[in-house]
Each structure stands twice: as structure tokens, then as C-alpha cells.
């Protein structure tokens, strides 16, 4: 009987994980306002955990460049600051916003700082890194500037590790492929 209940529970959890999408989550914007990710339904989204004092921080330039290139075709980048790796995002949300706009001219949406690893991981990143729900793209975030490409249905298409730059051919071709699925 206990085995049957356990199997049913595991099955229910698996169904819940499968039925969820990125659009089921809400973060706060960098300005502290609720930002339901459902607002991006129908778009191709690149979620990136960012940091201002990281060796990968110059990727903001490439992020802004691909955002400008594809935004009119239904593409959006969401910058999600996190201070989980080496204290490389210690600032307040206002300091992060000022840094991103003044140093890198960031115009894509920025969210409020969250945790992407550990006991206080935000629910969105619990979902993204869940290996059972996402066997191909799940797994612990290893460092800043991990990128998740999400399709217009809110499902994760692929994941790129920090060393893969946002303008790398494999990233831009994945974005273009996802954008080609949008209705014109």
C-alpha cells in the first residue's frame, strides 16, 4: 500500500512538473513591481542569471546586441541578478539597474535580485534546474550568465553554460529557430 501511494505521489509530482511552464512564475522587476512571466507568452525568452562583478559581466554587451537584433521579431531577454557565486552581485536592485544602464546601456527587462542556487532558490530556478522535469536542461546552476532559451509556449528549449557567449552561433541559431516557429 505504501509503495502504491508513493508511486501515485511521484506520478502526481511528475504531472505537475510537466504541466508547468516558465509562464507560471512571477518575479519582481528591478523596480520592485510584480512581473508575471505570463506577460511574455508567445515570445521567445532568454533567461540569464547575471552579475555585475563577474568575469562574464562583459556578456551584457552581447546580450544587449542580440536583444536589439531580435526584439522586433518576438524575442526578449530577462536579466535576473543573483549573488550566489563569489559575491559578484552585492549591490541593491537600484545599484544593479544603474550599473547595467550606465555601463552597458541595457534596455532589456531586468528583474530584482534572486537566489538561483541553494536553500533559498527562487521557485523559477527550482523549476528550471529540476532534472526530473527537465532531463536535458536541468541541473544545478554552475555560475553567473547561465542562459535558458524558452519557447513561445513557456517550455525550456535549451540551456547554455556561462562560457557560451550570447552571440555565439549556437545561441543565435537556436534563437532564430525558435523565432521561426512564431506565427507571422
Beta strands in the chain (DSSP E): 26-28, 34-36, 44-50, 75-81, 147-150, 156-160
Q: Which of 20, 21, 28, 54 is catalytic?
A: 54
Tell me if 27 sits within 8 A of 123, measured CB to CB. no
Question: Could you confirm whether 54 is annotated as catalytic?
Answer: yes
For 168: left if phi > 0, alpha if psi spans -120 to 50, otherwise beta; the answer is beta
If one counts every other C-beta atom within 10 angstroms of the C-beta of residue 160, the result is: 20
- And the C-alpha cell for 167? 552571440
Report the C-alpha gap between 129 and 96 in whole angstroms: 24
Q: Go through the chain and tell me how many residues it has.
A: 184
Q: Report the catalytic residues.
A: 54
Amino acid at each position: 500500500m505504501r509503495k502504491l501511494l508513493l508511486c501515485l505521489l511521484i506520478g502526481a509530482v511528475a504531472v505537475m512538473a510537466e504541466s508547468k511552464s516558465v509562464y507560471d512564475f512571477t518575479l519582481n522587476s528591478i523596480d520592485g513591481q510584480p512581473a508575471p512571466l505570463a506577460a511574455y507568452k508567445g515570445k521567445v525568452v532568454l533567461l540569464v542569471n547575471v552579475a555585475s562583478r563577474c568575469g562574464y559581466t562583459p556578456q551584457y554587451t552581447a546580450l544587449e546586441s542580440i536583444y536589439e537584433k531580435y526584439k522586433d521579431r518576438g524575442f526578449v531577454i530577462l536579466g535576473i541578478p543573483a549573488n550566489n557565486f563569489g559575491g559578484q552581485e552585492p549591490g541593491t536592485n537600484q545599484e544593479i539597474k544603474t550599473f547595467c544602464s550606465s555601463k552597458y546601456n541595457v534596455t532589456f527587462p531586468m528583474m530584482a535580485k534572486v537566489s538561483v542556487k541553494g536553500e533559498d532558490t527562487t521557485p523559477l530556478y527550482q523549476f528550471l534546474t529540476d532534472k526530473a522535469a527537465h532531463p536535458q536542461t536541468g541541473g544545478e546552476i554552475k555560475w553567473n550568465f547561465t542562459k535558458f532559451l524558452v519557447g513561445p509556449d513557456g517550455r525550456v528549449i535549451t540551456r547554455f553554460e556561462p562560457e557560451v557567449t550570447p552571440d555565439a552561433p549556437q545561441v543565435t541559431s537556436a534563437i532564430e529557430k525558435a523565432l521561426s516557429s512564431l506565427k507571422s
